[in-house]
Structures are given as structure tokens and as C-alpha cells.
């Protein structure tokens, strides 16, 4: 999603490979590079590349000039690919990875240096994921805070489209790098870091030499490089928050493109499973990037599928508010399932079949559209119409509610709020609970578990499984569907009394049958961090919902009562 004046979506020129051998027939995959993070135990990291058909490839992992392990494989005919799975390793490093190709008397060697083992997260979506650190609140402070996070490594994929699934990335905007910024003080420290970053090994053993080579990441500041141009702020801040908790290396891969609908990020098979039509829809203004089916899946996601991942975070949906909106409750969960299956298979089973998948529920937007239903419907469909995650259709998922992070004065348009710190913090809480199994950690806001109709009192009582904090009473954010003479209309249900786990709504305005209830069902439900309901200990906002009222029990549904 891109605001007026920030229309991106241009196809950038392809970046050359960071470093290959003199013989281009033998090389690592495009994203295997100096400073990378490989997935730690219990999974095994996948190392792969291209070579001469029939050649033997020996992959050696070294640390402090000591060989840790060796793996031997053959270059496959036709595909000219080779692949090994390393034994699981504990977090840490640095290591060196060496690949040696042997065919007859020919012997070629490749190396990558300063390799860490930790958790690898893929970050994808549209412009709110693509926004960089320089575009967010307190950018100067955030950009100066990189020295303590040199074990959080970052990579950004080039903006490329493809009609068919690519096996390797066509381009990398930012090769694996330690985080740097021009706001970091200390010229000598920066010069020393750059010197190490330019190290290149050309020897035949596990011994580093200071010899700069082509494609090294020298003299480049990589956080806040430009508006909507690497590195993703949400991705970086999420990884930084995880590192603060885990205290071991984190690898972050940003692969996102502004103004793109989910159809561009989905495989053909997943779109077919949801019955997505190939033609017949007029694209709305928010769709400014590639919208053709699967073109970004083919070029920016599928080439990564051999990589061993810990998980994925996703921030997308604005471009579907008026584009195949009613299919999003299928296309999004199906995308998650398809990505999981593809990465599991591509990594030889090393990426977990149900790897954790986190996402950001859409924030607010000052829309001038006639209908105010687009964003609420997408927010709802992002949960597969359950209102919360994990759920039966979306296992092992987590969500950051962002509807209270509105930004009227964002220079990038209100659809691009600048508070990405809170987004990342809420996402990392979900990751700690779902991906890392932290018990007793609150990671989602309160959602009612039961509705009780007290008709004689003119009240509707909501009971919550969590404690609730009523930050302010609101007369309009709750609405009831009131039906009479076969016609229904939504009416405000003012908040009345409340306790630590219940809330009563005044329904006296309804003189017919009360059939449904909804909460925060607008594009802009409240001002910045001023929604009525939160969890008291963690200030997580209550998510939006819509529900039938039947038998005094809660029955969530995806359509407004008719």
C-alpha cells in the first residue's frame, strides 16, 4: 500500500552476486554470503549452490581453523545443483563455510566468513513492512542503537517479478550484513568494522586473509537506506526485540514490495484452491505494485525455499481492502499453509512443517471511500473469521493488533503509521509465546468468551476470559444489529458498567430483535493508543470482532447481520 507521492513498485536493476568463483559454473546460492545467520538446532541448516554436473562437492564447516564437520555430495545432472544439510549446531559463531568442487584434476573452492548460527526469520508483505528505520518515530535514536546488535544480521531481497518459479534469487539489494547506520559514532570503530567486513578468503584451508574482493558489503549504511528501501523497520525491530530476550544470533530476511495484493505473493496452486479469478477485477488505487498472480511468490519467496527457517512475519492486506476482499479469509490461511509446505519440502524437512507465522492486523486509515467496511473486513479475514489466533484454521500463528497505532500526520500518508516499535513489540510477544513456548505470557488482547442478554435490564453483558482494562468509556465503538420488520440496522451500544472481566452495554436503543454485536468495526476506530479496551498488564488492545447473539453464547461470524 503506497500513499500519493510515494508510488513505488518500479522494477529495480538486478544486483550482481556478492561473490562467486572465477568459474561461474560453481557458486553458492545467492543468499549464502559473509555475515549470514544459519538456522540453529534442533534443525540442520541447508547449504546449496550450483556446479558442474557429476562433480563432487565437499562442504566443510570450520571454527578457529578447526574443522567442525564435513559433508560430501554430488552435483545433480540437469539442474546442476548441489545441496547438503549440516548437522544441528548450537547458537553462536563465528564459523567459516567452505565448499570445494572436484572433477578429475579440477579443484575449485568457495568460502563465506563470519557465519553465525541462530534463528532465521523471513519478513514479507507490502509497504508497511517495507518502511525503513529512517521513516519511523525516533529514527535518529533507533539508528544510533546498532552497536549492541551486531549479532542481528540483515538481508534484503531485490524487487523482482517472474512468470515462473525461480530456483535462486535474481537479485539481492542488501547482502547479509551487520547493522550499520550513519548515525553511529566513532569513525575509527566504523572503519575497523568495515575492514573486517571486507575480508575475503582466497586460500585453500580454513585460514582468513585480508583481501577485499568483488561484491563485499563495504562503505554502505544499511539501516534507513531510503524511504521504502531496505532495511524493513518492522523486521529489524522484531529481530532486535527477540535478541534482547534470547541473547543469541538472529537472521532477518526482508522480502517485501509496496502496494501489492496477496495474489502476487501466493503460488498458483494456493490461488486455485481459493477459486481466485484470474481476470475481471479493476484494481483500486492502493494497488500500485505488481498485482499479477504469483509474480512475487515466483521471484522473491520461492527462491528462498531451500533455506532452513525458524518462522515468518507478515504485514500485508491494505491492497486487498477493495480487491478480492471476500476471498481473503481463504487466500491468507492458504498462503500460510502453502509457504509452510514449500519451505518444509525445500529444506529437506529441516524447516518445521508448521513453522510459526506472525502477522500484523491492519492499522487505521483516513479513507475517503464511500464504504467504511474494507479495512474491518480484512482485519477479520486475517484471522480466518475467528477474531483471534491461533485457531483451528491457522495453527501456530500469532498476531499484532495495530488499529490503535493511527498516525494522522504521517508524511507517508495515514496508511503508513510511524510507530513501528509498538508493532514489533507486540509481534515479538506473540513469537515468544507461540514460537518459543513461553508459558504465562500474555500476547493477545481480551476477546469476549460469552455474551449474555439481560433484556429486562436493557443490557448486553460481555464476559472475558482475560482481565480487561477499560481505558475510557465509548458510546459508539460497540454496535448492535437490531432487526424489525425484516430490516436490520447497526446502532451504537454505549458502554455501561464494567468489572475486571465483564462489561455491560446499553441496548435500549433497539426496539426489535437484537441479533449481532460488533466492536471497532470501522477503518479508524480510535485515536493513538486510545481504544477503550486493553489488557491491563501488557496494554495489548482488544481486537475487533463481530458476533451473532444466539443462546447467550458467542458465535463469531464474518458477515454483518442481514
430 found inside a domain: yes
Same domain, 310 and 399: yes
What average pLDDT does the segment 54-63 reach?
97
pLDDT band of residue 217 (cuts 50, 70, 90) is very low
Same domain, 375 and 489: no
Same domain, 383 and 522: no
The pLDDT assigned to 117 comes to 98
**Percentage of the chain surpassing pLDDT 90?**
77
Same domain, 384 and 412: yes
Q: In whole angstroms, give the CA distance from residue 26 to residue 356.
A: 34
Q: pTM for the full model? A: 0.88
pLDDT band of residue 282 (cuts 50, 70, 90) is low
Instruction: Kindly give, in sequence order, each residue whose CB lies less than 8 Å from that of residue 199, ignoring residues fewer than 6 positions away.
Output: 34, 113, 114, 208, 209, 210, 211, 212
The pLDDT assigned to 280 comes to 80
Give the chain's count of helices (H) and strands (E).
9, 25
382 vs 284, higher pLDDT: 382
Instruction: Kindly give, in sequence order, each residue whose CB lies less than 8 Å from that of residue 21, ignoring residues fewer than 6 positions away.
Output: 27, 108, 109, 110
State the cell numbers at 102.
572436484
The pLDDT assigned to 16 comes to 35
The pLDDT assigned to 293 comes to 97
Distance of CA 483 to the CA centre of its chain: 41
pLDDT band of residue 144 (cuts 50, 70, 90) is confident
List, in sequence order, every residue forming a beta bridge with 157; answer none if it has no partner: 172
User: CB neighbours (10 Å) of residue 308?
Assistant: 26
What average pLDDT does the segment 542-547 reach?
96
Same domain, 350 and 238: yes
Checking if the pLDDT of 186 tops 70, the result is no
Checking if the pLDDT of 357 tops 80, the result is yes
pLDDT band of residue 281 (cuts 50, 70, 90) is low
What average pLDDT does the segment 19-29 reach?
65
Query: With 0-12 CB in 10 A as exposed, 13-18 as middle and 19+ as buried, what is 306?
Result: buried
Same domain, 419 and 473: no
Checking if the pLDDT of 183 tops 60, the result is no
What average pLDDT does the segment 154-183 reach?
92
> Cell match 501466493: residue?
266
497 found inside a domain: yes
pLDDT band of residue 197 (cuts 50, 70, 90) is very low
Same domain, 82 and 59: yes
CA 19-24-26 angle, to 5 degrees, is 85
Domain boundary among 369, 403, 436: 436
The pLDDT assigned to 530 comes to 95
Checking if the pLDDT of 143 tops 50, the result is yes
301 found inside a domain: yes
272 found inside a domain: yes
182 found inside a domain: yes
Same domain, 107 and 123: no
315 vs 222, higher pLDDT: 315
525 found inside a domain: yes
The pLDDT assigned to 129 comes to 97
pLDDT one-digit tens code per residue, 224-279: 778 888 899 999 999 999 999 999 999 999 999 999 999 999 999 999 999 999 86
- Identify whether the C-beta of residue 352 lies closer than 8 Å to the C-beta of residue 43: yes
**Percentage of the chain surpassing pLDDT 70?**
85
Nearest to 137 by CA among 416, 360, 364: 416
326 found inside a domain: yes
Same domain, 39 and 107: yes
Checking if the pLDDT of 12 tops 90, the result is no
What average pLDDT does the segment 103-118 reach?
96
The pLDDT assigned to 209 comes to 34
We report the CATH number of the domain holding residue 37 as: 2.60.40.10
Same domain, 516 and 399: no
Domain total for the chain? 3
DSSP state of 455: G
2 found inside a domain: no
pLDDT one-digit tens code per residue, 478-490: 999 999 988 999 9
We report the CATH number of the domain holding residue 254 as: 3.40.50.1110
pLDDT band of residue 368 (cuts 50, 70, 90) is confident
Domain boundary among 377, 405, 436: 436
Q: In whole angstroms, give the CA distance from residue 173 to residue 390.
A: 34
pLDDT one-digit tens code per residue, 510-538: 989 999 999 999 999 999 999 999 999 87
Checking if the pLDDT of 358 tops 90, the result is yes
Q: Which domain holds residue 84?
A: 27-114
CA 58-343-47 angle, to 5 degrees, is 15
Domain boundary among 413, 436, 459: 436
The pLDDT assigned to 49 comes to 98
The pLDDT assigned to 195 comes to 36
The pLDDT assigned to 417 comes to 96
Residue-averaged pLDDT of the chain: 87
Same domain, 145 and 88: no
Same domain, 537 and 487: yes
131 vs 210, higher pLDDT: 131
Checking if the pLDDT of 420 tops 80, the result is yes
pLDDT band of residue 284 (cuts 50, 70, 90) is low
Checking if the pLDDT of 306 tops 50, the result is yes
Checking if the pLDDT of 11 tops 80, the result is no
Amino acid at each position: 500500500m503506497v500513499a500519493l507521492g510515494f508510488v513505488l513498485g518500479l522494477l529495480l536493476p538486478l544486483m550482481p552476486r556478492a561473490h562467486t568463483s572465477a568459474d561461474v559454473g560453481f557458486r553458492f546460492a545467492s543468499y549464502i554470503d559473509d555475515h549470514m545467520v544459519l538456522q540453529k538446532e534442533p534443525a540442520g541448516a541447508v547449504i546449496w549452490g550450483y556446479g558442474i554436473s557429476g562433480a563432487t562437492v565437499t562442504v566443510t564447516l570450520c571454527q578457529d581453523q578447526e574443522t567442525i564437520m564435513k559433508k560430501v555430495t554430488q552435483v545433480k545432472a540437469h539442474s546442476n545443483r548441489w545441496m547438503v544439510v549440516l548437522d544441528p549446531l548450537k547458537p553462536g559463531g563465528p564459523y567459516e563455510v567452505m565448499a570445494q568442487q572436484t572433477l578429475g584434476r579440477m579443484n575449485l573452492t568457495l568460502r563465506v566468513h563470519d557465519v553465525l548460527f541462530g534463528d532465521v526469520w523471513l519478513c514479507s508483505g507490502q509497504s508497511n513492512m517495507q518502511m525503513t528505520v529512517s521513516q519511523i518515530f525516533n529514527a535518529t535514536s533507533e539508528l544510533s542503537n546498532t552497536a549492541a546488535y551486531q549479532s542481528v544480521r540483515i538481508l534484503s531481497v531485490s524487487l523482482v517479478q517472474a512468470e515462473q518459479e525461480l530456483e535462486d534469487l535474481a537479485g539481492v539489494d542488501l547482502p547479509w550484513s551487520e547493522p550499520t547506520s550513519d548515525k553511529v559514532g566513532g569513525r575509527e570503530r566504523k572503519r575497523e568494522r568495515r575492514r573486517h567486513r571486507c575480508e575475503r578468503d582466497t586460500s585453500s584451508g580454513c585460514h582468513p586473509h585480508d583481501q577485499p574482493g568483488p561484491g563485499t558489503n563495504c562503505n554502505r549504511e544499511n539501516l534507513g537506506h531510503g524511504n521504502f528501501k531496505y532495511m524493513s523497520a518492522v523486521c529489524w525491530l522484531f529481530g532486535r526485540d527477540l535478541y534482547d530476550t534470547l541473547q543469541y544470533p538472529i537472521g532477518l530476511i526482508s522480502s517485501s514490495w509496496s502496494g501489492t495484493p496477496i495474489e502476487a505473493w501466493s503460488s498458483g496452486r494456493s490461488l486455485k484452491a481459493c477459486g481466485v479469478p484470474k481476470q475481471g477485477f479493476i484494481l483500486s488505487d492502493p494497488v500500485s505494485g505488481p498485482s499479477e498472480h504469483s509474480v512475487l511468490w515466483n521471484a522473491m519467496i520461492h527462491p528462498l525455499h531451500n533455506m532452513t527457517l525458524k518462522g515468518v512475519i507478515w504485514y500485508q492486506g491494505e491492497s486487498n481492502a477493495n480487491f478480492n476482499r471476500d476471498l481473503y479469509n481463504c487466500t491468507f490461511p492458504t498462503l500460510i499453509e502453502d509457504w509452510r509446505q514449500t519451505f518444509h519440502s525445500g529444506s529437506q524437512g529441516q524447516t518445521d512443517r508448521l513453522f510459526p507465522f506472525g502477522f500484523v492486523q491492519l492499522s487505521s486509515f483516513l479513507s475517503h471511500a464511500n464504504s467504511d467496511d474494507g479495512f474491518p473486513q480484512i482485519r477479520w479475514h486475517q484471522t480466518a473469521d475467528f477474531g483471534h489466533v491461533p485457531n483451528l484454521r491457522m495453527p501456530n500463528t500469532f498476531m499484532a493488533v495495530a488499529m490503535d497505532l493511527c498516525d494522522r500526520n504521517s508524511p507517508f500518508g495515514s496508511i503508513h503509521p510511524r510507530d513501528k516499535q509498538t508493532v514489533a513489540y507486540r509481534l515479538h510477544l506473540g513469537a515468544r509465546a507461540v514460537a518459543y513456548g513461553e508459558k504465562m505470557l500474555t500476547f493477545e488482547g481480551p476477546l469476549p468468551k460469552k455474551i449474555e442478554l439481560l433484556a429486562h435490564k436493557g443490557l448486553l453483558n460481555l464476559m472475558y476470559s482475560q482481565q480487561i482494562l477499560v481505558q475510557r468509556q465509548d458510546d459508539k465503538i460497540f454496535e448492535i444489529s437490531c432487526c424489525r420488520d425484516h430490516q436490520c440496522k447497526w446502532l451504537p451500544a454505549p458502554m455501561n458498567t464494567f468489572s475486571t472481566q465483564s462489561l455491560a452495554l446499553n441496548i435500549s436503543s433497539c426496539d426489535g430483535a437484537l441479533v449481532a454485536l460488533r466492536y471497532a468495526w470501522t477503518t479508524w476506530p480510535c485515536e493513538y493508543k486510545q481504544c477503550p479496551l486493553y489488557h491491563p498488564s501488557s496494554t495489548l488492545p482488544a481486537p475487533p470482532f463481530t458476533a451473532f447473539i444466539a443462546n447467550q453464547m458467542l458465535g463469531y461470524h464474518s458477515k454483518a447481520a442481514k
